[in-house]
Structure formats: C-alpha cells, structure tokens
Amino acid sequence: RCDVYVCMCVCVCVRACVHACGACGACVYVFQVPLCIDSSKFAVVEAGLKCTQGKCVVNSISLKEGEEDFLQKAAIVKRYGAAVVIMAFDEVGQATTAENKVEICTRSYRLLVDKLDFNPNDIIFDTNILTIATGIEEHNKYGISFIEAVREIKASLPHCRTSGGLSNFSFSFRGMEAVREAMHSVFLYHAIKAGLDMAIVNAGNLPLYDDIPKELLEMCENLLWDRDPDGTEKLLVYAQTMKAGNKKAGPTDEWRQEDVEERLSYSLVKGIDKYVVEDTMEAHHCTEKYPRPLNVIEGPLMKGMSVVGDLFGAGKMFLPQVIKSARVMKKAVGYLIPFMEEEKQNRINQLREENPDVESEESMYAGTVVMATVKGDVHDIGKNIVAVVLGCNNYRVVDLGVMTPCDKILNTAIEMKADIIGLSGLITPSLDEMIHVAKEMERRNMKVPLLIGGATTSRTHTAVKIAPRYKSPCIHVLDASKSVVVVSSLLDDVSKEELMEDVSEEYEDIRQDYYESLQERKYVSLEVARAKSAQLNWSSFEAVVPTFCGTRVFHDYDLSTLRKFIDWKPFFDVWQLRGKYPNRGFPKIFNDKDVGAEAKKVYDEACTMLDMIIDQKLLNARGLVSFYPAQSKGDDIIIYQDLDALAAGTPLTTLYGLRQQLEKEPGSVDPYYCLSDFIAPASSGKVDYIGMFAVSAGFGVTELCDTYRSQMDDYNVIMVKALADRLAEAFAEELHLRVRRELWGYSRDEDLQTDDLLKIKYDGIRPAPGYPSQPDHTEKTTMWHVTDAFAKTGIELTESLAMTPAASVSGLYFAHPSSTYFAVGKIQKDQVADYASRKSESLETVERWLSPVLAYEPA
C-alpha cells in the first residue's frame, strides 16, 4: 500500500540537486507532483529545498549525530515547509528491537513537536524493516519488532506517519522472486493492520494474500512470527522446487469446476469476462436461491466486488486490474438489467403498496455519490477512475460528466439524495469554480460532504480556499484508492466524527503554515525584478525568418507519424503504474520486478487499440501553426500581421507577460524571468518572430467511448482517453520538430532521437498559457482570436478556457537559443495591478484568474 506518489530526486552533489529540482519545476508533467529529495549529504538536501516549489519530502534525518545536529536539520526542513522521514537511528546505532525503535521515535517526536513546534502530520517514521531468516537467531524477530513498533508508534505519537523499505525483509531469499513476493504480501497484510501508512514497494506483482499457496503461506507466516525454528530451511527446500526467480505456472480453468458463486467471484477478482454472462445466467436461473435478479447482484456479484475493493484498498491489486474487474461486473449487471426492468413496475410498486417501508432496489448500495467535472473544465479521466473504484466498492455513482454547472450538481445531489458530492478539475480556473460550489452549498444550508480532486487541486488549496467556505465536511482526496477510505468513513457516524476531527485539525495547521509562509517569503518589487531581467545579447542577433507568416492548418493529420513521438510515462501514470529506480522510464518500466509485468500487459493492450484506431481511422487529429513578426516591450510581446505592419507600427495584438518576483538567494545571479525576455526588444531595432500552435487528437473520442460504454467497458473508455491524450502531446512534439527543422527552420540540422526530444535537448521552447511560465489562462483567448483556431480546427475554448476536445494542446513557440522554461511562482500586488492596467481589465477580474499564484489575499 502506498499513500503518496512522489517524484524522487536522488542526488549526490549540490549542483546536480539544483539542476534536477529545477528541471522538475519546469516540466509541465512534474511540477505539480510532490518531490522527495533524497541524499545522504544534508547540504544537497538544503540546496534542493531552496529551489523546490510547493511541499516536498526530505529523506532523511536521524539522531545519529546527536540532538543538536538533528534539531538544526529539522529546523531547516520546517522553514521550507517540507515533510521529513525520520530514521530509527540514534547516537548508539540502528534500532533493532521494538522497544528501541519506539524509544528513538518517541524521543525524535518530542524534540520535533515540543522544541520546534513541528507539524506532526509532516513526520514520517521509518523504523527499519530488517532482513529475517539470515541464519542468525536474533534476526528472526526483526519482522515482529517492526510490526510491534509501528503499532505502538501509531497509538502513542498522534498524527505521525510510518513507512519502511520492504525489499530488505526478504533479502535472504534474493533470486527467489515468488518466495520474496509471498513474504512481502504476508508482511504487508499484518503491518497495515498494525498501522503502517506507506511502504517502498510496488504492488503490481504482489500475490493476493488469499491466493498464496497454503503451504507457502504457512511457511511465510511462521517465518514472520518466528514460530518454527526450522522455518528458513523449510522455505529454502520449498523454493528449490520452483524455478528461481519465476512464478508458478499460469492460471488454468480448474476454477470452472467450482459452484457458480465461486466462479463469479473468481471472474471478478481476476478480471475474466469470458464466462461471466454464462455464469450470471446460471445464477439467475437458481430461483430458489436467487428469486430476483437483484438477489444475484446483492449476493455473489457484490461479494466478489467486495473482495476486489478490499484487495485494492490494501494495495494488493493494481488499478488496471480493478478497472477490468469493474468491466466484468458491468457485463454481469448488463445481463440482469432487462429482468430487473421487467419486474420494476409490478414487483417493487406492488410491495410498496403493501408496505411503504419496504427497501427499494437502491438499498443494495453502500451510498450514493454524485460526481462532476466542474463548469468550464473538460478533463475527466481521473474522475472516471474514481467512479469505477467507488462502484467496485458498492457505491452508486451518479456521474454528471464534464462542464457541469453548479446548479445542476447541487440539484442532482438533492434529487438523488446523495450522500457525497465529488468535484473534479484539471485547469486552474476550476479551483475558483470549486470555491463557488462550496459557497453555494453553504448558502443552501446543505450538509452533504464535499470531496475535492483533480490534477490542479491540492490539500493546501482545499484547506485554505475551499473548506473555510463550507461548514460541513470538505476534504481533498489524493487519488482513487483514497476515495473509498474517505467515503466509507464519512458514511459511518463514528468514523466520520474521528475523520473530521483529524481533518479539521490538519487543515487548521495547513492554513496557519500557509499564512505564515506568505509572511516569511521575501519578494522583490516589480521595478527591481524588471531591472534584473534576463539580459540577452541582441546587438549581434539576427532572427531566422519563418517560411511563412500567418496560419497553416492541418486536417486529418496522419496518426501513424505521431506514434513514435508518444511519451509513455504519463500513460502509465494514468494507470498508477510506477517503476522504481533504475526502472522508472519507458521501456525500462517493463524490467521492474513489481510493476513490470502489469505495465507490459497494459502497454500491449494499448498498442493493440492504437493499431485499431489508426487502421480504422477512429480518431481524427487536426491542428494549426502560425508565425508572426514580434518585438517585446517591457513584459509584453507586440505581435504584427506582417513586416509592413511592423514598419508602420500597427500591432495585430499583444501577449502580456508575468515576471518572477520571489527573491533569489543571496549571491545568486539568476535573472527574474518573463517570457518577453526571449523576444528582441523594440528598442534594439531588431525584428523577431513568435509562433503559436493548437493541436488535438480528440475528435472521435466521444463516439468511441460511447461505443465502449454501451458494452459496459469502462476499461477501454479510460484507455481511449489516455491514448488520445498521448497522441495530442505527440502531435505537439512532432509539430514542434517540424517547426524547428522545416516550417520555421531555425534548427534545420537538428538530429535528435525521440528520447532526447522528450528530454527537451533542442533549442527553443513551447510554453503554454495557464502553465508555470505564464499562469494566466486568458492569454489563450488572444491566441484563438489571432489564429481563428476554433473556426479552422474545431478546437474550442470553454468559459474557463479549457480546450475541447480534452485531448488538445496549445502554446507559443520561442526560437532564441537562450530561451528556457521557468516557473513564475507567486507574485505581488504591485505586479498584478500593473498587469491589470496593461490588459485594461479590472483588478478583481485579474486576481480571480491569477488566484493560484497570488502572494497575498485579495480584498
């Protein structure tokens, strides 16, 4: 089980750490992901903290060098608002017994909380998972010691987290992967019950606890609990009967000999849909046992899905497996629906007439959840995954789709008697819409818990901006696996009270830390930032002239040419498949001993679908690219229709920029960047150029997804959307290559491999409005006006300036070799007021669009 997904930054020197953290902060895929800075040299850790935006995790500190050193390092970690892993080490050495582990962790906790007022929610104790079965007798109790220590720490040290590196536990059996994975599964099964919050282990190849062969399970249990003095030798003998490093033979159809209930449960847990309609039909015909079709759902089908939900919640199943289980469930229910509809009017109505208190068919659900992507936003892959996972756990999910107005969400929740409302969004304007929904729920005096999720959301934003607007529960949910835990807790009176007490306390701490951090951070005035802008040598600069000025449109772009430009890492992220070093990237992820097999399976299925999409032309890609003469003026870029218009001083439009204001470290010579720094200033007398683009691979996605929905196939609905997103990004990558080599031609001799393209080893950048280099989404309206993008491509902007189809990408092209990605970060009111004046917008309007980057609280 893993509570947090992070981007690990493991560095050995300050320079490498600064470079790595800067690269993470500049990448549009990475900058929103929590960063874990891992180094044995604390100077490297501190360097990473200085250039990391948002909250990160430090791995690690301990009492190894004494209390003074420990507190000094912890104070630095706190200053930067990071969480920290505390190892169970002290001046004597590594803790091995439960008593010693608890003693060191308690001492560390008291030092942090009492002397530094360190937020206990940011303390993660790693109490050392050590190797058992080494042949040394005292090592045999290491597993017991860890579990007992975790149990005591969770009971006695409020709000802290616990973690551990699991691979150490089975190191004595290296090379015997089937045995090691069984040991890991058994260990996690008991450690999670004791309170283990997270572990360094990928769950993809972990066997289900209940699927471990009885003989092997008994041996692993005996080893963990030190019940058999000959346990190590017995397990070695057992392992020798298996091929080293291999698992047992694949599944057979022996399970088909079981009774129908067991067959249905097996199909659901294993995601096998081959026989599910046949078996559901058989169960339906067992009228003595299941007189109504609803009884089949409430009985064997819900029993099987309950197992799926439990296994996923315990980290024993992966997301693709859960989605496939949901597909099996939908096919089974799909068979039963006509029979349920047939009896609906006569049986249910008849029973209600006889007894008004009789349970309805909705009573089979654990609760009702109304979910929606908020108004103006079109992204819903994450929401769809959460809906499937909740459905697997016996919740009725009412999915209102995308771009859903506030009134529709709330009215539906009232009509459906919803137990939970879930809001999702990807673009930053969605954050304001979520605030609006919370305010409206409060105005209507609603009491329904509100869950917040989506790529642009965060626990901090929820705590600071949304939760204060709604008196009833308002909770940020990190990912699909957390949704089940939160929803189930909110629907249980006892658990709800405990959860809300914890959340309220945690959010109050977050708000306090947030406002304190605003006061602690130092900013320079806009005047100073402009004086320290990037100073490029324009005297010798001569711009490369694009091959055309104006717009070129691409209809029905060849998808087969985009295939080799696909960056597969975000695809695996959608499925929550993450390899660990050195197997993090594509295709190295296939070598990962934990997630490799599942990743390869999902990838092969994706390639099969991609073949079908390309061969049958199921999706259509369109786009455009434009080039215009341009010059900068301060923080803005003046664009001209052509050279004649430039000579006449007749601008076509202006792109407005924002400049960094967060004060640099003392002695730093880094400039305060703005995108206009990369365009020749008008005062230089030089003519420069800028490009714009908008591309989409999402035309046809709705129709294809509707086809799969009609087949009750959520797995392929998500697969289609994930592939369309990848194709859109590949389109942007391939078109940028053509721009550099051909259409603009400023790097005609460029010869880079795909991996180098994805690592941005080329000259020039393509930043997008709404992202770190220019966080204002409203600049997209200028692009759409200049290029007439909607009329020429069909790519439309919503009222919140999301692009639809959702699988769309747009941005600007800068050609200067010194242009670089950067994050504007938080900005002060002097710049916001100046920006509003330049754009001829009200301060209130600009503050609303820029709310995520304001370094102050608007009036």
pLDDT in tens, 681-717: 999 999 999 999 999 999 999 999 999 888 888 889 9
Token reading at 611 = 């073949």
- In this prediction, residue 308 carries a pLDDT of 78
pLDDT of residue 250: 46
Name beta bridge partners: 7.
Answer: 35
pTM, two decimals, is 0.60
| Residue 627 tokens, joined | 């080039």
**Closest C-alpha to 554, from 412, 405, 696:** 696
* Nearest C-alpha neighbor of 780 from the set 795, 770, 767: 770
User: CA 241, CA 239: separation in Å to the nearest integer?
Assistant: 5
pLDDT tens digits for 94-119? Answer: 898 999 999 999 999 999 999 999 99
Give pLDDT, residue 173: 78
> Taken in order 801, 803, 808, 813, is the CA torsion positive or negative?
negative
658 phi, psi to nearest 5 deg: -120, 145
Measured CA to CA, the distance from residue 167 to residue 172 in angstroms comes to 10
Residue 87 has a pLDDT of 93
Packed helices 381-392 and 714-738: angle between N→C axes, nearest 10 degrees: 160
Q: Which of 206, 225, 221 minimizes the C-alpha distance to 167?
A: 206
Q: At what angle do helices 214-224 and 177-194 cross, to 10 degrees?
A: 60
808-813 and 620-633: which strand pairing? unpaired
Structure tokens at 30: 């990475």
The residue with tokens 């990473």 is 48
**The two structure tokens encoding residue 843:** 């301060």
Give the model's pLDDT for residue 317: 67
122 token code pair: 């940011």
Neighbours of 449 (CB within 10 A): 24
pLDDT at residue 71, rounded to an integer: 94
Q: Strand, helix or coil at 125?
A: strand
Q: Are 676 and 688 in contact (CB under 8 A)?
A: no
Place of tokens 């000579």: 647
What is the 3-state composition of the chain as percent helix, strand, coil, each rounded to the nearest 5? 50, 15, 35
> Quick one: pLDDT at residue 829?
95
3-class SS at 625? strand
Largest Cα span, the chain: 92
550-574 burial by CB neighbour count: b if 16+ within 10 A, else e?
Answer: ebeebeebebeebbebbbbbebbeb
Residues lower than pLDDT 50 in the chain: 1-8, 10-14, 26, 28-29, 243-250, 348, 358
CA dist 476 and 453 (Å) reads: 6
Structure tokens at 592: 């990962």
CB neighbour burial string for 721-747, b if at least 16 within 10 angstroms, e if fewer:
bbbbbbbbbbbbbbbbbebbbebbebb
DSSP H or E stretch at residue 845: helix 843-849
- Cα 162 to the chain's mean position, in Å? 22
Task: Return the active site residues.
Answer: 377, 379, 430
CA–CA separation, 731 vs 558, rounded Å? 10
**pLDDT number for residue 795:** 96
Strands ordered across the beta sheet of 450-453:
396-399, 368-373, 420-424, 450-453, 474-476
The pLDDT score that the predictor gives to residue 247 is 45
